[in-house]
């Protein structure tokens, strides 16, 4: 950051500054915050913002990953390396443990996914650790329900979001008052778009998991989307795996995250493809949002990210 003749921040630096402000407010006003990390690009940006907010000290909160067991191996490898570099504390909550404990029942069949089950694992982990604020990398441009969610998103003691009872958010004054058992999800990059995230990754020189770049992978086509051929997904009769050059726009479970055909092997290439795209990231690659018109809202009400 350098000071120009005119004291006006570029839009990326203005967004960055807003996010740092939000993170420091949370650190100051909550007893036990946690940063939710998925290994995806948005939470990679959150880690950099936390460095900007708190260095040279350590983060005043641990990092938590909800591992469905169906994650891309490249992402898990990246996660462990990145957290080690940062020297911060990582908590991993496993959906498998929730299944083993009988808290949730595994879906079966070719369309089975653990995506929905992770809500319970997350809520249990928040409660067990006594976390009262959880940072997430959600953005308002992702989805219609998210467009109306606050930066400080209040959750009741069942982890539920009530879109009609949100607190007004004025100026840069955030109301973090809660009762015991309740918590707040905090979204510091609410006002960023997908392109902002990629531009930030580029200017900051951040590493992202290799699956964000074009690579050859065996995939199969279902409902017009390309999915990774993996042991976690049963194929339906006519589905035949084939190999093609793809990259991922979002990082979720292998079972519900689609790939896009791409030849972009560099950050610049990815940014150029995204700038030229005509489909939103969740529309293109997330089966979990296609279930109903209000799929995201319904999951959020239950306590999803």
What tokens does 207 get? Answer: 């590493």
**Shortest gap between Cβ of 173 and another protein (angstroms)?**
5
Identify which range of 36-44, 115-123, 167-175, 243-251 contacts another protein by CB under 8 A: 167-175
Q: How many CB atoms lie within 10 A of CB 100?
A: 10
Give the one residue of 169, 221, 239, 302 binding another protein; rule: CB under 8 A. Answer: 169
| Ranges assigned E (strand) in the chain | 33-36, 63-67, 90-94, 133-135, 152-155, 183-186, 215-222, 225-228, 242-248, 258-261
Q: How far apart are CA 161 and CA 203, in angstroms?
A: 35
- Interface residue with another protein among 27, 76, 86, 112 (CB under 8 A) is 27
Q: According to the binding rule CB under 8 A, does residue 230 interact with another protein?
A: no
Q: Does 145 bind another protein (CB under 8 A)?
A: yes
Q: How far is the CB of 181 from another protein (least distance, A)?
A: 13
- Would you count residue 207 as binding another protein (CB under 8 A)? no
**Of 255, 21, 54, 302, the residue nearest 152 (C-alpha):** 21
Identify the residue among 110, 130, 163, 181 touching another protein (CB under 8 A). 163
Closer CB to another protein, residue 174 or residue 220? 174
Burial class (CB in 10 A: 0-12, 13-18, 19+), 129: middle
Q: Tokens 């069949």: give the residue.
A: 109
Select from 77, 89, 106, 177 the one that contacts another protein (CB under 8 A).
Answer: 177
- Tell me the pairing of strands 63-67 and 33-36: parallel
CA distance 270 to 268: 5
Residue closest to 36 by CA, chosen among 202, 248, 175, 189: 189
For residues 134 and 186, the answer to whether their CB atoms sit within 8 Å is: yes
CB of 19 to another protein, least distance (A): 8
Nearest residue (CB) to another protein, 14 versus 236: 14
Cβ atoms of residues 198 and 267 within 8 Å: yes
Least Cβ distance, residue 148 to another protein (angstroms): 5
Q: Give the interface segment with another protein, choosing from 92-100, 216-224, 252-260, 272-280 (CB under 8 A).
A: 272-280
Binding of residue 58 to another protein (CB under 8 A): yes
Q: Is 156 in the site for another protein (CB under 8 A)?
A: no
Residue 284 near another protein by CB under 8 A? yes
Q: Smaller CB distance to another protein: residue 126 or 145?
A: 145
- Which segments within 233-303 are labelled E, that is strand? 242-248, 258-261
Residue in 32, 94, 116, 167 binding another protein, rule: CB under 8 A: 167
Q: Which of 22, 2, 40, 23 is nearest to 206 (CA)?
A: 40
Q: Does 179 bind another protein (CB under 8 A)?
A: yes
66 versus 252: smaller Cβ distance to another protein? 252
> C-alpha angle 206/74/208, rounded to 5°?
10
Nearest to 17 by CA among 145, 168, 200, 180: 200
Q: Does 224 bind another protein (CB under 8 A)?
A: no
Binding site for another protein (CB under 8 A): 1-3, 6-11, 13-18, 20-21, 24-25, 27-28, 51-58, 140-141, 143-145, 147-148, 163-164, 166-173, 175, 177-179, 190-191, 193, 195-196, 268, 271-272, 275-280, 283-284, 293-294, 297-298
């Amino acid at each position: 950051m350098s000071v120009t003749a005119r004291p006006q921040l570029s839009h990326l630096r203005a967004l960055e500054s807003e996010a740092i402000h939000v993170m420091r407010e949370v650190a100051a006003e909550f007893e036990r915050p946690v940063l939710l990390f998925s290994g995806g690009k948005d939470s990679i940006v959150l880690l950099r913002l936390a460095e900007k907010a708190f260095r040279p000290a350590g983060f005043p909160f641990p990092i938590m990953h909800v591992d469905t067991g169906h994650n891309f191996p490249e992402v898990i490898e990246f996660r462990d390396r990145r957290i080690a570099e940062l020297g911060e504390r990582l908590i991993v909550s496993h959906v498998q443990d929730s299944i083993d404990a009988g808290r949730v029942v595994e879906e079966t069949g070719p369309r089975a996914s653990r995506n929905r089950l992770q809500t319970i694992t997350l809520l249990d982990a928040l409660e067990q650790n006594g976390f009262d604020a959880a940072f997430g990398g959600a953005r308002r441009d992702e989805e219609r329900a998210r467009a109306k969610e606050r930066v400080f998103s209040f959750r009741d003691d069942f982890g539920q979001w009530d879109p009609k009872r949100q607190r007004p958010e004025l100026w840069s004054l955030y109301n973090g008052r809660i009762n015991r058992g309740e918590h707040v999800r905090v979204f510091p990059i609410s006002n960023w778009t997908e392109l902002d995230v990629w531009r930030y990754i580029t200017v900051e020189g951040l590493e992202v998991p290799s699956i964000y770049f074009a690579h050859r992978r065996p995939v199969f086509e279902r409902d017009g989307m390309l999915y990774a051929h993996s042991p976690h997904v049963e194929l339906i009769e006519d589905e035949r795996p084939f190999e093609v050059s793809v990259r991922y726009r979002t990082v979720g479970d292998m079972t519900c995250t689609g790939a896009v055909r791409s030849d972009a092997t560099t950050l610049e290439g990815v940014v150029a493809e995204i700038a030229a795209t005509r489909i939103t990231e969740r529309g293109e690659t997330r089966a979990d949002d296609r279930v109903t018109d209000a799929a995201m809202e319904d999951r959020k009400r239950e306590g999803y990210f």
